[in-house]
Structure 1
Amino acid sequence: METIQREYSNFSIPPGVNHPGKLRIVLASMISTDATGKILEKIGVCSQIAFTRYVRAGRKLGPDPQLSLADARFGRVPVRVYRPRTPSAGLRAGAIFFHGGGWLYGSIDSHENICRYIARKSELVVVSVGYRLAPEHKYPAAYEDCLNATIHFMKNVEHYGVDPARIIVCGDSAGGNLAAAVSQTLAGRSDLPKLRAQILIYPGLQALDFNLPSYQQNRGVPLLFRERAAFFALQYLNGHALHMQEVLEGSHIPPELRLKYRKWVSADNIPEKFKVRGVKPLRPTDFIAEVYETVKRICEPNLCPLLAEDAVVHQLPESFILTCEYDVLRDDGLLYKKRLEDNGVQVTWYHLEDGFHGIISFFDHCSLSFPAGKRGLDRIVKFIKGL
């Protein structure tokens, strides 16, 4: 955890970022939360992760005159269903939403505003999924919860007035990872309706290379630092972040696998315009077999969807991908966009030139609202309404 703390001394807020002053205030809140959590952990009150989770959990909002809200369980998975109250001439579209938070944080409540906004503006049924969190529940727990909730919804869409031919999976950050993984799993299922679309909001899609251009350029930009991206992936995978430094350096991938996946995970596949802020050539690092043994499941597509075979990718539904310029995960989205397009999948891509990771969550954050966040969310609504 000490490595995580050192990130704050190396933070950077680029001049082009959306409302840098507001972002500094958000960063100060992050620092305060982490520092308080560390103190509470040291005196034995609770873990730092538990405290941060509590702070970021959000809260259920009051009634919404435009929506009917209901908490339920799809099997053992808690969900919240948002249904527009306005009359509908026919069956509505339906969206399954997976919240972000690095697989460690976030909840149905933390993304309540986003789900309400999408349900109201798109006039569709939204199901927000409360999947199990790491490190208590390691991979593939979150993926399995999201998959099972989606299948349950697909098998019971009539109950919610949803058209089985218009079901969407959607998620931000780690939720985007889960949406991509679920979409891939369902692509070959003939016993279920075909997904109409997938919406991936600054998704994390690979953990092979933490030195792609966006990871170098934005390593110290809030809300997601480069080190923290690796920390989250390892906590989800193993329930701990041992060997984080080796993973950041790339020592966790055997040369033959790195060569195999180079066609999909490579700076060569990133358009040159995204390299103008600088990319430093790095020396190859020595492979460490002991590290690979502890993280080898990191190459599974259900954890790293960017590594799925073409036979799966070409079956995927129409896709929307949102990326932010000042986000370490920017290149994950760009690489997946290329993979989808190379396999004949229709992609709508929206790039926030002044955006940073997590900005959608601040679309209506009172004095800390970021206009770019609302711009991105409105573009998502436009995509849904055009399906």
Structure 2
Amino acid sequence: SATIHFMKNIEHYDVDPGNVIVCGDSAGGNLAAAVSQTLAGRSDLPKLRAQILIYPGLQALDFNLPSYQQNRGVPLLFRERAAFYVLQYLNGNASNLDEVLEGSHIPIDIKLNYRKWVSPDNIPEKFKVRGYKPRVLLDCTTEIYETVKRFCEPNLCPLLAEDAIIQQLPESFILTCEYDVLRDDGLLYKKRLEDNGAQVTWYHLEDGFHGIISLNDYCGFLFPAGKRGLDRTVKFLKRPINQLSLCFSH
């Protein structure tokens, strides 16, 4: 609602309507992706120039993807905390935390329906070398699913949006970190965008962890990887529109 109000009154804010970008990190990346999808196809508003998603959380169907298994105990975002936060955001409580973590919160038929988008099979093999153990699909009770069924709605989990929406999204910048439970969310969304012909600039911090951008030069903390990630984000902001690139950081 805030974004739509801004876009409808953009002249009041003295902003170039052709140069509006939405950006967010972590949960903010979730919101930025949802806003971009909500605005897709709107003919009554200016078109977004781009979306910037910094280690975004984009799905809540599978908390056992390779990145969740590999980085379950890596600060600043532990696997259990990630599930806890999304349940708090959904219902204001985390009473179904155990079911969400083990994967028994979504019916098997729905999981199979979304497996074309949310699957470890869509993660490049090089991201599984640090360890990955496939999990058996578990079913769930109707009672549990009723409490979390909004996890299947794209405005909460943007990775589940239909192709028709994905195809209308603006140019995207996605930053992922190797030591981050949300790494694979970003990788899966990158694939979805590319499969639908969207322009994607991807930057991966092999020595990065969740929250590293926010900790750049904060209270004495200074991480070179965080500065590199921030510099690449700024570079994307400043470059000409409609240039496709793929960036991979070592």
Q: Do the two structures share a fold, i.e. TM-score over 0.5?
A: yes
Q: Distance in 2 between matches of 1:156 and 1:369?
A: 39
Q: Does the 8 Å contact 1:252/1:289 carry over to 2?
A: no
1:358 alignment partner in structure 2: 211
Aligned-pair CA distance for 1:364: 1.1
Does structure 1 residue 330 correspond to structure 2 residue 195?
no
Q: Distance in 2 between matches of 1:274 and 1:325?
A: 8
2:20 alignment partner in structure 1: 167
2:220 alignment partner in structure 1: 367
Q: Residue 228 of structure 1 aligns to a residue in which SS?
A: helix
- Determine which of 210, 216, 226 is the counterpart of 2:79: 226
Aligned-pair CA distance for 1:366: 4.4
Q: Residue 216 of structure 1 aligns to a residue in which SS?
A: helix
Count of residues in Structure 1 that have an aligned counterpart in Structure 2: 240
Q: Distance in 2 between matches of 1:192 and 1:158?
A: 12
- Determine which of 297, 303, 311 is the counterpart of 2:164: 311
Q: Distance in 2 between matches of 1:157 and 1:313?
A: 25
- Determine which of 199, 205, 215 is the counterpart of 2:52: 199
Q: Distance in 2 between matches of 1:276 and 1:219?
A: 15
Q: Distance in 2 between matches of 1:299 and 1:263?
A: 14
Q: Residue 135 of structure 2 aligns to a residue in which SS?
A: coil
Q: Distance in 1 between matches of 2:78 and 2:198?
A: 31
Task: Give CA-to-partner distance per residue, 1:306-335, whole Å, 9 cap, x none.
Answer: 000000000000000000000000000000
Task: Give CA-to-partner distance per residue, 1:103-133, whole Å, 9 cap, x none.
Answer: xxxxxxxxxxxxxxxxxxxxxxxxxxxxxxx
Change (3 A) 1:366 1:293: closer
Structure (1 or 2) with the larger CA radius of gyration: 1
Listed as ranges, the gaps of 5+ residues in structure 1 are: 1-147
Aligned-pair CA distance for 1:286: 3.4
Aligned-pair CA distance for 1:239: 0.6
1:69 alignment partner in structure 2: none
Runs of 4+ deviating beyond 6 Å: none
- Determine which of 173, 181, 189 is the counterpart of 2:42: 189
Q: Distance in 1 between matches of 2:60 and 2:126?
A: 23
Does structure 1 residue 259 correspond to structure 2 residue 112?
yes
Q: Distance in 1 between matches of 2:17 and 2:25?
A: 23
Listed as ranges, the gaps of 5+ residues in structure 2 are: 242-250
Q: Does the 8 Å contact 2:108/2:138 carry over to 1?
A: no
Q: Distance in 2 between matches of 1:216 and 1:322?
A: 20
1:349 alignment partner in structure 2: 202
Q: Distance in 1 between matches of 2:168 and 2:220?
A: 43
Q: Distance in 2 between matches of 1:294 and 1:366?
A: 40
Q: Distance in 2 between matches of 1:250 and 1:318?
A: 33
State the TM-score, normalized to the length of structure 2: 0.94
- Determine which of 117, 129, 154 is the counterpart of 2:7: 154
Q: Residue 353 of structure 1 aligns to a residue in which SS?
A: strand
Q: Residue 17 of structure 2 aligns to a residue in which SS?
A: strand
Between the two structures, name the one with larger relative contact order (CA 8 Å, sep ≥ 6).
Answer: 2
Q: Distance in 1 between matches of 2:16 and 2:221?
A: 37
- Determine which of 63, 72, 88 is the counterpart of 1:235: 88
State the TM-score, normalized to the length of structure 1: 0.61
1:275 alignment partner in structure 2: 128
Q: How does 1:1-387 map to 2 (within 5 A)?
A: 148-386=1-239, 387=241
Task: Give CA-to-partner distance per residue, 1:37-92, whole Å, 9 cap, x none.
Answer: xxxxxxxxxxxxxxxxxxxxxxxxxxxxxxxxxxxxxxxxxxxxxxxxxxxxxxxx
1:110 alignment partner in structure 2: none
Q: Does the 8 Å contact 1:234/1:244 carry over to 2?
A: yes
CA RMSD of aligned residues (A): 0.9
Q: Does the 8 Å contact 2:178/2:204 carry over to 1?
A: yes
Amino acid at match of 1:206: Q
1:113 alignment partner in structure 2: none
Aligned-pair CA distance for 1:156: 2.0
Aligned-pair CA distance for 1:347: 0.1
Q: Distance in 1 between matches of 2:109 and 2:58?
A: 20
Q: Residue 177 of structure 1 aligns to a residue in which SS?
A: helix
